Amino acid sequence: MTARVGVVTFPGSLDDGDAARAVRIAGAEPVRLWHGDPELHGVDAVVLPGGFSYGDYLRCGAIARFAPVMEKIVDAAAGGLPVLGICNGFQILCEAHLLPGALTRNQHLHFRNRDQILRIEATGTAWTNTFQPGQEVLIPVKNGEGCYVADTATLDALEAEGRVVARYVGGNPNGSQRDIAAITNPAGNVVGIMPHPEHAVEALTGPSLDGLGFFTSVLKHLVGAPA
């Protein structure tokens, strides 16, 4: 049976269509979830897409975190539901305390969009299990507030527990501490990533097909997971 992957649309979500397309190309069925609807409609995994939810007012992700659908997602994540937060979705996951740390304004204070090489460092997560440890992938990065920060103890813990999922290679586009591009929770089902794997799933429109691995990983994870 085809896996059903929910993609949440908040007011101001922008890459929700792209995330749904990536899910489809990976072979799963995308299910659109609405921020105001506190139902997950039986999806097997959830993607929080990029964008500027609620205009990024107050603080990126700070308002989205209180959306009715988020309550369900936080609960389900605790039960093992795979959740991928991309860019704004990563910010929301941090605001919702599903992931530690915060994403702050890029150090150079500019929005930046470029094709970025990442090194995948944790391949045990629900979203990266099809990659090889140390594998380098090319994924677009585009953000204004993508500088990952956390206190030293948190950073050390992330490193020690193997929860740094990906790092920037060949230049850090936003000043993130320890070149962190993606992290995961202790269980490995919740991943937040600043670059945009959903923009690297078609040869015509992306710099590579490397992004597809994130979406095929969750399918592999779901097949292996207890029903």
Partner 1 sequence: MTTHPDPVRETPEAYPAAAPTQPGPAAAPSAVPARHASAAADWADGVDTVPRAEGTPEELQPYAELGLRDDEYDRIRHLLDRRPTQSELAMYSIMWSEHCSYKSSKVHLRQFGEKAPPSDRLLAGIGENAGVVQVSDELAVTFKVESHNHPSFVEPYQGAATGVGGIVRDILAMGARPVAVMDPLRFGAADHPDTARVLPGVVAGVGGYGNCLGLPNIGGEVVFDPCYQGNPLVNALCLGVLPVNRLQKKEATGPGNVVVLMGAKTGRDGIGGVSVLASATFDEGSEQRRPSVQVGDPFIEKLLIEACLELYDAELVVGIQDLGGAGLTCALTETAASAGTGMRVWLERVPLREPSMEPHEILASESQERMLLVVAPEKLEAVLKTCEKWGVLATAIGEVTAPTEDGQPGRLLITWRDQLVVDVPPGSLVDDGPVYARPMREPADLILLQADRAETLPRPADPDALRETVLRMIASPNLADKTWVTEQYDRYVLGNTVLAQPEDSGVIRIDERTGLGVALSVDGNGRYARLDPYHGTRLALAEAYRNVAVTGALPIAVTNCLNFGSPEDPGVMWQFAEAVRGLADGCAELGIPVTGGNVSFYNQTGAAAIHPTPVVGVLGVLDNVADRVPMGFVPQPSSGDHDQLFLLGETHVELSGSEWAWVTHQHLGGVPPHVDLAREKQLAELLAAAARVGHLSSAHDLSDGGLAQSLVESCLRYGVGARIAVPERFEGNSMPFVFLFSESAGRVLVSVPRGHEKAFTALCGEHGVPWELIGVTDPAAGALEVRGQFRIGLDELREAHTGTLPSLFGGVAPFEVTPAEAGAADEAVADRSDDPHAEPVAQDVPVEAPTSDPVVAPESAAPETEVAEPVEADDERPTERATPPLRRPTTPPPAEAEVGEGRADGAQTAPPAASPDER
Other beta carbons within 10 Å of 13: 22
142/96 Cα distance (integer angstroms): 22
To partner 1, the closest distance from the beta carbon of 208 in angstroms equals 5
221 included as an active-site residue: no
Among 8, 47, 54, 122, binds partner 1 (CB under 8 A): 54
Among 206, 214, 217, 218, binds partner 1 (CB under 8 A): 206
Element of type H or E holding 32: strand 29-34
To partner 1, the closest distance from the beta carbon of 152 in angstroms equals 7
Instruction: State both tokens at 212.
Output: 């597809």
Using rule CB under 8 A, residue 115 touches partner 1: yes
Using rule CB under 8 A, residue 179 touches partner 1: yes
Using rule CB under 8 A, residue 196 touches partner 1: yes
| 105 vs 220, beta carbon nearer partner 1 | 105
Q: Where are the beta strands (DSSP E) in 64-201?
A: 83-86, 102-104, 112-120, 136-143, 147-149, 164-169, 180-184, 190-193
| 21 vs 221, beta carbon nearer partner 1 | 21
Place of tokens 């990906």: 166
To partner 1, the closest distance from the beta carbon of 35 in angstroms equals 10
